[in-house]
Amino acid sequence: MIVALILQSAIVQPLPQDVWASVSVGASLAHTSETIEFLRAGFSAVDGEVTLRRTFRRLNDPPEVSWATSLTCHGVLEAVDRLKIIPAPDVVKPGDTEEIVLDGEMYAVRFRGRYGSNTGEPVRFSSTGGTPLSKWVSGTLSTLKPCWSPTRLKVSG
């Protein structure tokens, strides 16, 4: 199996203002993608609640948006806990063999990372299938599968 790990050494784009982490998978030939966004506290209905937004895109169709909250599904908190165990990629040294994959599924996770109390910086890991990251993303999506609802709890205030 051809496996490619793509680490962006250039500047990683910041997350949208209402998002603190995201997990995604996309299939290039099928022209589909699924993105899970972990929303910031001000965008949740209740203090302490974690709200997730799922956007599924298919070529030529409008995006399908669904919602999950820690108030109604324990899997949301499990997904938050899984963010603490994202598998780090190997460092690529000069001369290491690298393969380019032109098609297939691409798995990604984005978040602001830091050591200790340092200022957080945008981080993005991505890979094709068959990697520890693809298994982590698939596991996270599986954990959340029963949580999705087409309606969102209203933000109070």
Domain boundaries, the chain: 5-91+100-147
Q: How far apart are CA 11 and CA 27, in angstroms?
A: 24
**CB-based contact 40:61 (threshold 8 Å):** no
Q: What was the pLDDT predicted at 7?
A: 39
Mean pLDDT calculated for residue range 85-92:
92
pLDDT per residue as tens digits for the range 90-119: 998 999 988 777 668 899 999 989 888 888
Mean pLDDT calculated for residue range 2-22:
62
Q: How far apart are CA 114 and CA 5, in angstroms?
A: 22
68 Cβ contact list (under 8 Å, min separation 6): 51, 52, 54, 75, 76, 144, 147, 148, 149
**CB-based contact 12:124 (threshold 8 Å):** yes
Confidence of residue 63 (pLDDT cuts 50, 70, 90): very high
26 Cβ contact list (under 8 Å, min separation 6): 32, 33, 34, 105, 106
Tell me if the pTM is above 0.85.
Answer: no
pLDDT per residue as tens digits for the range 123-140: 999 999 999 999 999 999
**Residue whose structure tokens are 């297939």:** 104
> What stretches of 10-116 adopt beta strand conformation (E)?
19-27, 32-39, 51-58, 64-69, 105-113
CA contacts within 13 A on the Cβ side of 152: 17
Listed range (42-46, 103-107, 120-124, 143-147) with the worst mean pLDDT: 42-46
